[in-house]
Amino acid sequence: MVNVEDIKKEAIRILKEGKVKYIIGYKKSTNGSMSVPAFIESSEDVENLIWDPTCVYNLTRFLVDEKRRKAREKNPDERPVGIIVKGCDSRAIIVLLQEKFINRDDVYILGISCETTGVLDEKKLSKKLNGKKAEKVEYDEKNNFAITTADGKIKVPADEILAERCLECRANFPAINDVLFGEKVERKSDKPFESLEKIESLSKEKRWSFWKEQLDKCIRCYACRSVCPMCYCDECVVDTINFAVTADTTAEEKAQRIKWVEKSPATSENFVYHLVRAIHLAGRCIDCGECERVCPMDIPLRFLNKKMEKEAKELFDYDAGFDPDQPSLVSCFKDEDPEDFIR
């Protein structure tokens, strides 16, 4: 089992030695049992660091902020940022490296192995507790989580409240790291796309009504986009004005910009948005499940990305986030790529 004290020790060391400018990790939230992202600048703050099954966030998303901030600074601190990553999150780092969005020496990776479990799903936890408030959730022996509520401590088999993505995990420890906590025990799911089957097996019209019902709920808060480490475009198809506006941008360029998607949360517009996102994440999504977790309307967005992940694997034998040197899915091809669908 991962001992959080080991992580703290390393965090203090790298901060004291000035190896990193700050560390992105997890701390306890102020309103419940869940963790929240922590930005640790001094060794005194390291005390706040935690590691437990509530550490769901994919913190690599904050590397995008870091890059933008650095670009604005006149004399940026060039030291790396320390970042705590799980196996899935480390795949995000590999994609960011592959796309040259970040350099390897921009990050000091404190990898944590999820060993044989993973992180929890807050909604499943709440159901399990019948709406009772959890005060603390900890890793326990034998693939159990220990949950503390006002009534005391109970043990729950991890699988009952694990996040869906953890049940289909393809990388339970970070392959890329500067220091690793926990054991490199394999817990790879042999059926990583199993959950998709329940939608794939529906008839075409049932699939349509499923997605229509789901995407009609969308309120276009763009939390799915905002939380995604791969959604780092300066300009997004749904935004209303040009972002890359400079003094040289002409009025015509601004005026001629195509409005692909209306702001209205209509079926047609929501579909374009989510389809574009899905296709743009094809071969890049590493299934951290953050888009689905943050969705306030409970849209099962993970399935859209998961479907693309599965097709990339089955059609092109392509896996995202394992090899920083491989070309991206849609900027490469093989002679034998399938073409039976082409007339």
Partner 1 sequence: MTDEFEPRIVAFLCKWCSSAGSDLAGVSRMEYPSNVLPITVMCSGSVSPLYIFSAFNKGADGVLVSGCHPGDCHYLKGNYYARRRIALVKKLLEFIGLESQRFQMSWVSAAEGKKYTQVIKDFVKEIKPLGPQTKLRRNQ
Partner 2 sequence: MEKILTKKSFSKWVKKLESYKIYAPVKNDDLWNYEIIDIPESIQLDYPNTVLSPKTIIFPQREIFLEFKASNEEGLEVKEILPEEKPAVIFGVRPCDAIALTLTDNVFKGDFEDPYYWKRRNQTILIGLTCNIPPSFDCFCLSVDGSPHSKDGLDILMTDLGDKYYIESLTKKGNQLINLAKDCFEEPKVTDKKDLEEIHANSEKQIKRQIKDIKKIPKKLKGMFDTPFWDKESLSCIQCGICTYLCPTCHCFDINDEVASSAPLKGKRVRTWDNCQFPDFTMHSSGHNPRPDKSSRLRQRILHKFQYFVELYENFQCVGCGRCISKCPVGIDIIEVLDKVRDYGS
Partner 3 sequence: MDHNVYIPKLAKIIEIKEEVGGSRPIKSFRTHFINKNDFSHRCGQSAMISVLGKGESMISISSSPFVKDYLQFSILKMGRVTTALHEMQVGNVIGIRGPYGNGFPIEEWKGKNLVFIGGGIGLAPIWSVLNTALGKREDYGDLMLIYGARTSKDLVFNDELKDLKKKITVFLSVDVEEEGWKEFVGFVPQNVTDKKPSPKNSITVTCGPPIMIKFVIKALKDLGFEDEQIYTTVENKMKCGIGKCGRCNIGKHYVCKDGPVYSWAQLKNLPQEY
Residue from 17, 78, 234, 252 touching partner 3 (CB under 8 A): that is 252
Both tokens assigned to 160: 């009952």
Q: Are 194 and 275 in contact (CB under 8 A)?
A: no
Both tokens assigned to 93: 């780092």
Site map (CB under 8 A) of partner 3, residues 257-296, x = contact:
x---------------------------------------
The least distance separating partner 3 from the CB of residue 254, rounded to whole angstroms, comes to 5
Both tokens assigned to 97: 């490296």
Both tokens assigned to 154: 């109970």
262 is an interface residue for partner 2 by CB under 8 A? yes
d(CA 180, CA 158): 22
Residue matched to tokens 């965090």: 11
Residue from 241, 244, 258, 342 touching partner 3 (CB under 8 A): that is 241
Q: Which is nearer to partner 2, 67 or 220 (CB)?
A: 220
The DSSP string of 85-117 is: E-HHHHHHHHHHHHTTSS-GGGEEEEEE--TT-
Residue from 219, 233, 275, 279 touching partner 2 (CB under 8 A): that is 219
255 is an interface residue for partner 3 by CB under 8 A? yes
- Burial of 266 per CB tally in 10 Å (0-12, 13-18, 19+): middle
> Which amino acid, one-letter code, is at 31?
N
Give the distance, in angstroms, between the CA of residue 18 and the centroid of all CA atoms in the same chain: 28
The least distance separating partner 2 from the CB of residue 237, rounded to whole angstroms, comes to 13
Residue 101, φ and ψ in degrees, nearest 5:
-75, -35
d(CA 45, CA 39): 9
The least distance separating partner 1 from the CB of residue 35, rounded to whole angstroms, comes to 33
256 is an interface residue for partner 2 by CB under 8 A? no
- Interface segment toward partner 2; rule CB under 8 A; list 192-200, 238-246, 281-289, 304-312: 238-246
58 is an interface residue for partner 2 by CB under 8 A? no
Both tokens assigned to 40: 């640790």
Site map (CB under 8 A) of partner 2, residues 11-50, x = contact:
------------------xxxx-xxxx-x-----------
Strands 179-181 and 107-112: parallel
The entry of partner 2, partner 1, partner 3, none near residue 123 (CB within 5 to 8 angstroms by kind) is partner 2
237 is an interface residue for partner 2 by CB under 8 A? no
Residue from 6, 272, 300, 326 touching partner 1 (CB under 8 A): that is 272
Residue 249, φ and ψ in degrees, nearest 5:
-65, 125
> Which amino acid, one-letter code, is at 129?
L
Both tokens assigned to 89: 């999150």
- Interface segment toward partner 2; rule CB under 8 A; list 180-188, 262-270, 278-286, 303-311: 262-270
**Which residues are at the interface with partner 3 (CB under 8 A)?**
241, 250-252, 254-255, 257
Query: Which positions touch partner 2 (CB under 8 A)?
Result: 29-32, 34-37, 39, 57, 61-62, 65, 123, 127, 131, 133, 217, 219-223, 225-227, 239-243, 245-247, 249, 254, 262-266, 290, 293-294, 296-298
